[in-house]
Amino acid sequence: MGQRGGLAIYPGSFDPITFGHLDLITRSLRIFDRVIVGVARGHHKETLFTMDERVEMIREACSGMERVEVKGFDGLLVEFAHREGANVMVRGLRAISDFEYEFQMALMNRKIDGEFEAVFLMPSEQWSYLNSTVVKEIARLGGPVDRFAPPAAVRRLAAKMKSP
Ligand code: PNS
């Protein structure tokens, strides 16, 4: 392996974290020395879990990963990244359908902060169909979610479905 690159932010809603997200974190650690998982409060969409719950779930899921930190943030991603001393974000690209949204976000972030860069990684193909929305849907309908999300998320999904 070549020399790794500094610090990257991996931002998202993580509502909740899935194995696809964990795959991306593992891949990011092959490139960067440290990764901060940035959990957006989520003004852009309604979330099932609070920001604190999402942060806790990811911390539990990443507890063995020494070079990973998990932090919640409010406001602009580029400002959060700046406060943390990072100018690179990592995002996952599962399929062409992800491209347009990611393209717009990357270019908007660059408009706000010309130094900000985006690195796109492809998750393992076994997770290419997976996202938090379908995991929530399966949980809501009583289906098995333990093959899609780590125990921290499965447990909280089950609790949420009992008392929303
Ligand atoms: O997991 P998601 O919902 O696709 O993640 C989107 C996220 C949180 C990365 C994006 O909405 C974001 O960066 N939000 C923070 C506010 C912000 O900076 N918005 C401008 C983005 S162009």
Q: At what angle do helices 151-162 and 132-140 cross, to 10 degrees?
A: 50
Domains and CATH numbers, the chain: 5-162 (3.40.50.620)
User: Which residues are CB-contacts of 97 (< 8 A; sequence separation ≥ 6)?
Assistant: none
- The first and second tokens of residue 30, run together, are 């092959």
List, as own/partner pairs, every contact residues 103-106 make where C-beta atoms lie below 8 angstroms and the sequence separation is at least 24, other chains included. none
| Whole-number pLDDT of residue 5 | 75
Residue identifier of the C-alpha nearest atom 5 of ligand 1: 12
The protein residue with its alpha carbon nearest to ligand 1, atom 19, reads 76
Ligand 1 atom nearest residue 77's Cα: 18
The verdict on the CB of residue 12 being under 6 Å from ligand 1 is: yes
What are the catalytic residues?
A: 21, 45, 94, 132
Q: What is the pLDDT at residue 4?
A: 63
pLDDT in tens, the chain (164 residues): 456 679 999 999 999 999 999 999 999 999 999 999 999 998 777 999 999 999 999 999 999 999 999 999 999 999 999 999 999 999 999 998 899 999 999 999 999 999 999 999 999 999 999 999 999 999 999 999 999 999 999 999 999 988 65
76 lines ligand 1 (CB under 6 A): yes
d(CA 62, CA 95): 25
Rounded to two decimals, what is the model's pTM? Answer: 0.95
